[in-house]
Amino acid sequence: MSTRPTWVEISLSQLAENYRIIRNHVGPQRAIMAVVKADAYSHGLQKVADTLAGLGVEWFGVTSADEGVKLRRRGISQHILLLTGFWKGDQSALTEHNLVPAIYSEDQLGMLEAWGQRARKPIRFHLKVNTGMGRLGIHWQEVKPFLEAYRRMKHVELEGLFTHFAAAEDFTTRQTEEQIERFHSVKQSLIRAGVRPRYCHQANSAAIVSRPESWDDMVRPGGLLYGAHPPVRAKEGSSEPRCRSLPVQGVLTFKTRVIAVKQVPAGIPLGYGGRYVTPRLSRIAAIPAGYADGLDRRLSGKGKAILCGQCVPIVGNISMDLTLLDVTEIPQVAVGEEVILIGSKGSCSLAALDLAEMAGTIAYEIFCGISKRVPRRHVS
């Protein structure tokens, strides 16, 4: 058990509220697949899944079979989709734990058919179509040969059809509109061939917020569940509202405590490389959190923290285990004072998106960058 005073608090009540907001937004007629891959975006897979399962979510989306097995061993009974498919050797997990793989090649389909024949039962799968993302998926113009192979098989069931948007939040191009058009073209091809998937799904968090035409039978919130509201880019000069801002809030608060405070004369270099030089007589606080904990080193010299309800600057280079803060303007700061690295207090707020913008990355990387050595405390 770690006694180091750096930890993360996960609000399960806020997670539940975010889920309800999304459910009300998309309506009861659509299924929701809660994306909980990568340890629920570093929020703690088991507690997050327990909470969402209790609220009635229909599906969970994970990366791979090992994540799906963890959910089953936790007692999760909802449908589970392996978003990046399965690997050779995973077939037994599919049938033993009732996991549904994404399929994006004829070779995979053949492997699945062989295993279904051996298991003497059909195995469900969701066909992933590449409509423009350019990663995994049968190319949208090359689905016909796949369908011909599928119709010859007896031990697989095409339960779902899905794609993934590259930039659903970006209204400065027609890329997402084109992806939606291509997806519906594939869907119609399947229907003409006598194949009607139970679930068609395209909408990620950004599309849930801004593109209701893409909601289909099911939506896949990921970051939105955890309070990361995607920023929507509209065309320059456009006054047309492009999304409904959903009142989701951050679920995760990243905290630490001051472990040292000292007076430093003007002109003294601080930290690795002496990058920061005190411009005046300063009070400098040290906190036991660094890039090994997930405080991105790119925030060196430009990031902030919240102390006593005020924002204070990070000074010098963030190191592996320690970071320095300039607390000159808060004379009452003492050892043991709580520090918020992600979260809010008083009128100050530091969302994961704020840190991401400072670091030149995305909120999801900020979440996933919080390391395993930082304890998670799930609170109601």
- Residues annotated as catalytic are 37, 272
The Cα-based distances of 62 to 20, 39, 59, 143, 319 in angstroms read 21, 9, 10, 25, 33
Q: What is the dihedral of CA 154, 99, 167, 243, to 10 degrees?
A: 110
Tokens representing residue 146 in the block: 């796949």
Tell me the C-alpha distance between 146 and 148, whole Å: 5
Q: What is the dihedral of CA 221, 227, 238, 210, to 10 degrees?
A: 20
Look up residue 30 and give its DSSP letter.
S
Look up residue 231 and give its DSSP letter.
P
Q: Where are the alpha helices (DSSP H) in the chain?
A: 12-26, 37-42, 45-54, 65-73, 91-96, 106-119, 143-151, 175-192, 205-210, 352-359, 363-369
Q: For the packed helices 106-119 and 143-151, what is the interaxial angle rounded to 10 degrees? A: 20
The closest of 239, 147, 232 to 187, measured between CA atoms, is: 147
Bridge partner list, 261: 285
